[in-house]
Amino acid sequence: MSAFDPTTVAHLGLGEGGTALARGFAEQSGWRTPGSNRTQIAVDIAAGIGARGQAMAERAAAMGVTLSRDYGKALAEAEFVTSTVTGDDALDAARSALKFLEPGTVFLDFNTITRKTARAIAALMDAKGVQYVDVAVFGSFHAVGYRTPLLIAGRDTDRVVPWMEGLGFKVKVLNDQAGDASAVKMLRSIMMKGIEALAVECLVAAREQGLLEEVLDCFGDVDAATFRGMLDTLVTTHIPHCKRRMEEVEKVNQNLVETGIEPLMSRATLANHRRTYEANVAGAGVVPPLDEALRILAEDVVKPQR
């Protein structure tokens, strides 16, 4: 058994994520067994307000969770705190809770935030002796509840991870640098949300042209490769083949316009390929390994403002 064994858990936010976590502690994980004297509390500014707030209050009551609209002294009893508010509210929620949290409390931040924001919150927590754990959620609370895969980063995670795993949490420790787990999620979202937007543009156009099934079927070559392998191939061949691909994307944009669809994503793709072409990095047309391709792109094409 883990030496870490809290008797009071608090949740900041009791929406979908907070409810999944609270339900896990209340009904599924075995944490709150009869006679264990273990309690859950929750804070949500929407509690009891309107239909949503009333439904929240009913959920809390059904799970045996004490619900409040205000951050208060009850948080001082919490040894394990989860925050599932919103990314925009994460810093303010942490500040509001920190006034009441005791040193040694473990604070898990499940919100979608940037590395900079996570590190700012971690610094506040560290100053008071509260253990901040940066959490990136890779899955759906709605689909699998509190057992959704979690990537975490922060100091002393070995103190709490055995206890979480014993309750059924699916936890992978990244490192001891708070903010890195959130950064991984942000970087992944560049890809996944970009693909989502491209899929909207592509498949709407395919439907308009009466070719939806044909287009979906033509991605078989992608199915045959791993996603990671496909990314490697696209990036490494981007440098020597950017001119040809740029010319193809010009026609892609023309095709969308002729179909009556604004090429929102494809216009950006054209700008991306033109930027690489105009940087004159194609050289002798040799396909470089991934590390070298990314070095060339970073130093001579993308040029991050460090």
Give the sheet arrangement for strand 80-83, strand by strand: 65-68, 39-43, 8-12, 80-83, 106-109, 131-137, 150-153, 171-175
Would you kindly state where each structural domain of the chain is located, as residue ranges?
8-177, 185-302
Q: Do residues 72 and 44 touch, judged by C-beta distance below 8 A?
A: no
pLDDT digits (tens, 9 = 90+) for 12-23: 999 999 999 999
Bridge partners (DSSP) of residue 131 are 106
- Cα of first residue to Cα of last residue in the chain, in angstroms, is 45
Residue type, 213: E
Which of 47, 33, 39, 45 has its CA nearest to residue 8? 39
CATH classification code of 185-302: 1.10.1040
DSSP for residue 158: G
**pLDDT of 1:** 47
pLDDT digits (tens, 9 = 90+) for 94-132: 999 999 999 999 999 999 999 999 999 999 999 999 999
Residuewise pLDDT in 10s, the chain (306 residues): 468 999 999 999 999 999 999 999 998 899 988 778 899 999 999 898 999 999 999 999 999 999 999 999 999 999 999 999 999 999 999 999 999 999 999 999 999 999 999 999 999 999 999 999 999 999 899 899 999 999 999 999 999 999 999 999 999 999 999 999 999 999 999 999 999 999 999 999 999 999 999 999 999 888 888 999 999 999 999 999 999 999 999 999 999 999 999 999 999 999 999 999 999 999 878 899 999 999 999 999 999 887
* C-alpha–C-alpha distance, residues 115 and 171, integer Å: 19
Cut 0.75: pTM above it: yes
Only one residue has tokens 């590390």, namely 291
Topology annotation, domain 8-177: Rossmann fold (3.40.50)
DSSP for residue 260: T
Long-range contact set of residues 27-32: C-beta below 8 Å, sequence gap at least 24: 27/63, 28/145, 28/146, 28/168, 29/146, 29/167, 29/168, 30/167, 31/167, 32/64
* C-alpha–C-alpha distance, residues 155 and 134, integer Å: 10
